[in-house]
Chain A
Amino acid sequence: MEIVMKEVGAVVVLHLKGRLDLASGAGLKDEIKALLEKEKNLLHLNLAEVDFINSSGLGVLVSVMKDARLHKGRLTVSNLAAYVQEIFEITQLSHIFEIFATEAEALDSYQSVNAD
């Protein structure tokens, strides 16, 4: 899996590309761990180019969400393909993740939280 990172204000946006599965999940975990250690705890994952996800990939997302919360941070996701969205729904993870239709909407939500 390919990960492209950019910073938008205080939020680190990670664009994921390819399969999010057992083999590739460790790389994402390591990247997020490194960010949290640098006190970058506002994280957004754009999944537009994730073409495959399974329960191992979901497990990685749950793990990084828990890590972000432990660091008093926030993790959002956006741009889920229909198939990925369905996997979130059938595993009921759609209830615990903040899911946005677009990256812009997700980033706006960080602005509103800061403004409150």
Chain B
Amino acid sequence: MARYEFTYPSILEAEGRMLNDLVRVLARHRMTGLAKQSVLVVMCEAFNNALLHGNKLDPKKKIKVVVTIKKREVTADIIDEGRGGLEKVRKRQPSRKWAESGRGIGIIGHYASSVNFRETERGGLKVSITFEPDDKKILSKC
């Protein structure tokens, strides 16, 4: 089992840094193709939620990303330092046809094998995501 931990400031450029770090981790574990893309897009959606809605681009607040890879099973936690994130997730409405935002949670739900939202002791949001190797959603695309 391999565990990777990264911490980012809440600035726009952090999205690219996180993706670059994740690309390197997945390459190390020979994860390629659409299975890799699924992990990248889900992680990016959760990360951007933390960046924009959790930490509200406050550079003093951090986002912690923990990725664990066991064989081909990937689990990840994305933890922000915001407030009331769980309530925002609960109140979320489906995006309208011409909306310019609000599609991230749907994308996470489509590609992840499981996703869990919890509030941390400090009031931030912890999103835990699992990609299982026998999940047909992912395997069919390898």
Q: State which of A23, A82, A92, A96 has its C-beta within 8 Å of the C-beta of B13.
A: A23
Structural contact, B98 and A55, CB atoms closer than 8 A: no
For chain A, give the interface size range.
20 to 34
Interface size on B, residues (CB 8 A): 26
Report the bound CA distance from A62 to B98 in whole Å.
7
In the complex, the 5 A-B pairs of residues with the closest C-beta atoms, listed nearest first:
A59-B100, A55-B103, A55-B104, A83-B37, A54-B44
Structural contact, A91 and B16, CB atoms closer than 8 A: no
A87 in the interface, Cβ–Cβ < 8 Å?
A: yes
A13 in the interface, Cβ–Cβ < 8 Å?
A: no
Known: A19-B19, A56-B48, A90-B107. 7 other contacts (CB 8 A): A21-B44, A54-B45, A54-B107, A55-B48, A55-B107, A59-B103, A83-B37
Known: A55-B107, A90-B110. A62 touches B100 (CB 8 A): yes
